[in-house]
Structure 1
Amino acid sequence: MKNMGLWGENKAVEFLKAKNYTILARNYHSRFGEIDIIARKQNTIIFVEVKTRKNTAFGFPAEFVDYKKQQKIMKTAQLYINDNFNAEFDYRFDIVEVFHYDDNKVNFNHLKGAFEL
């Protein structure tokens, strides 16, 4: 698949919407980095990193969200929060693992609160 990352992000959006998340932004950029999906569910703003893989031969997708990547996401999230929200919301950092198998089957693993500020 030519752009499996984008495909996985699109599937993750469908997955989150089906779980009653409202998508606020996609591919939000700052000078620090990018957040794949910013969503809201009730009184919580969720910053979502999406990782897509065909298998776990090289490890689980979430293992590729290392400390450095987490720091970039958190700094970018702080800018988004400062520009868009006030203190009345809770915030959370999630990872959605998207597994795309050869038979076009898709599985998701939603790691809520995968890392913290």
Structure 2
Amino acid sequence: MSRAKGDIAESKACEYLLSCGYTVVDRNFYSKFGEVDIIAFKDEVLHFVEVKSGEDYELAVQNITPQKVRKLLQTGDVYLKKNALECAYMYDAVIVTPSSIDLIENITF
């Protein structure tokens, strides 16, 4: 997927999260392990959100691999330490397709 398409999907995911009551606190946080697309708060829980898009739901979800989840966990840990945060947190995914946007909470295996 091109970077432009990824940016569009991330913007749609942010809009969706905001409409669901989330507060977006950071986007595209990088560490040596990888990237977290969106970091948001809701109900005193910090959410590290991976955004995946595709022509259909199944194709997008298949891109959430164990390796990607591992990198997401490591990068989330860096973010927590860098910002000295001690709060509840979880790892989620937002799936963006031409016809829907879906939130999958707690994607860790």
**Shorter-chain TM-score above 0.5:** yes
Q: What code does the residue aligned with 2:82 have?
A: D
Aligned to 1:94: 92
Distance 1:98 1:25 in 2: 19
Distance 1:37 1:55 in 2: 21
User: 1:49-96 deviations in whole A, cap 9, x for unaligned?
Assistant: 00011235xx33122111111111111100100111432x11100010
5+ long unaligned stretches in structure 1: 101-105
User: Could you say which structure has the higher helix fraction?
Assistant: 2
User: Could you say which structure has the higher strand fraction?
Assistant: 1
Distance 1:80 1:115 in 2: 17
Distance 2:90 2:74 in 1: 13
Query: Considering only aligned residues, what root-mean-square deviation do their CA atoms show, in Å?
Result: 1.7
Distance 1:44 1:8 in 2: 23
Aligned to 2:18: 17
Distance 1:55 1:115 in 2: 22
5+ long unaligned stretches in structure 2: none
Which of these two proteins has the greater Rg computed from alpha carbons? 1
Distance 1:96 1:76 in 2: 17
Distance 2:65 2:105 in 1: 16
Partner SS, residue 106 of structure 2: strand
Distance 1:55 1:76 in 2: 27
Where has structure 1 moved over 3 Å in runs of 4 or more? Answer: none
1:6-85 superposed matches below 5 A? 6-56=7-57, 59-85=58-84
The one of 79, 102, 107 equivalent to 1:109 is 102
- With normalisation by structure 1, the TM-score equals 0.85
